[in-house]
Amino acid sequence: MDSGKVHVMDHPLVAHKLSIMRDKNTSVKDFRELVSEIGMFIAYEATRDLPLTTRTIETPICEAEVPTLDGKKLAVVPILRAGLGLVDGVLRMVPAARVGHIGMFRDEETLEPHTYFCKMPKDIAEREVLIVDPMLATGGSAAAAIDEMKKRGCKQIKLLVLVAAPEGIACIRKAHPDVDIYAGAVDKCLNENGYIVPGLGDAGDRIFGTK
Ligand code: PRP
Ligand code: URA
């Protein structure tokens, strides 16, 4: 089996934008816009290996053989709810991608993830899947979402997150060693409530203004 990699964004714009998001005084509006912007950067990195072919066109100067995407089919799959915040940024990079939704919530006491919704494009098994969620904390939600996608026959899966904890990365490496992880940053650890430190706080609440 292929061994997946962890790709951590190494870019001053991402670092700067994440720092604004970490500030507890950042408004819901700004937080939501920044999730989307960083989603675009992470999608840019996660699509670096898309296959190219060539086609012949006429430039104003001459005939030329130019690179063009080889029509690889993609699907973006946000983990509800907070993953929704990343969808439009990713779609700005890959506008033809289909969107599947998977609803996961964590039991607040056990931190165990539960699937409450799953609606995928019909041909999902033929698509490369980009699972998106701002937070990879214990890794339980993402690992369960990857399980669901594999159950539906998906073979090429990438996980895109804004902030990852080392514990979450270790969980995915163990449960799904074939899945590449793309992270805006890797933080220090989890606290006793399963929140990433220093982290962003509750990403869903901050995107949707529910607290
Ligand atoms: C958050 C986050 C992830 C999950 C990460 O969602 O968006 O899905 O927690 O934690 P884990 O790695 O320990 O599983 P949450 O369960 O708070 O739901 P929400 O998106 O509806 O806010
Ligand atoms: N979910 C969040 O929204 N934030 C965390 O830090 C951990 C899980």
Question: What is d(CA 43, CA 91) in angstroms, rounded to the nearest whole number?
Answer: 9
Q: Model pTM?
A: 0.95
Rounded to the nearest angstrom, the distance between the alpha carbon of 165 and the centre of ligand 2 is 10
Dihedral sign, Cα of residue 123, residue 131, residue 173, residue 4: positive
**Three-state SS string across 126-184, please?**
HCEEEEEEEEECCCHHHHHHHHHHHHCCCCCEEEEEEEECHHHHHHHHHHCCCCEEEEE
Instruction: Name which of 52-56, 101-105, 117-121 the model is least confident about.
Output: 101-105
Q: Tell me the ligand closest to 145's alpha carbon.
A: 1
Q: Tell me the ligand closest to 106's alpha carbon.
A: 1
pLDDT at 107 over 90: no
Q: What is the pLDDT, as a whole number, of residue 112? A: 81
Tell me phi and psi for residue 209, to 5 degrees: 65, 40
Sequence letter at residue 211:
K
CA atoms within a 13 Å half-sphere pointing along the CA-CB vector of 144: 19
As for ligand 1, residues whose beta carbon falls within 6 Å of it are 79, 81-82, 104-106, 111, 113, 133-142, 168, 194, 202-204
Catalytic residue among 26, 30, 92, 106: 106
Active site residue 68: no
Active site residue 205: yes
Active site residue 133: no
**Three-state SS string across 35-46, please?**
HHHHHHHHHHHH
Place of tokens 């990433």: 196
Q: What is the pLDDT, as a whole number, of residue 48? A: 96
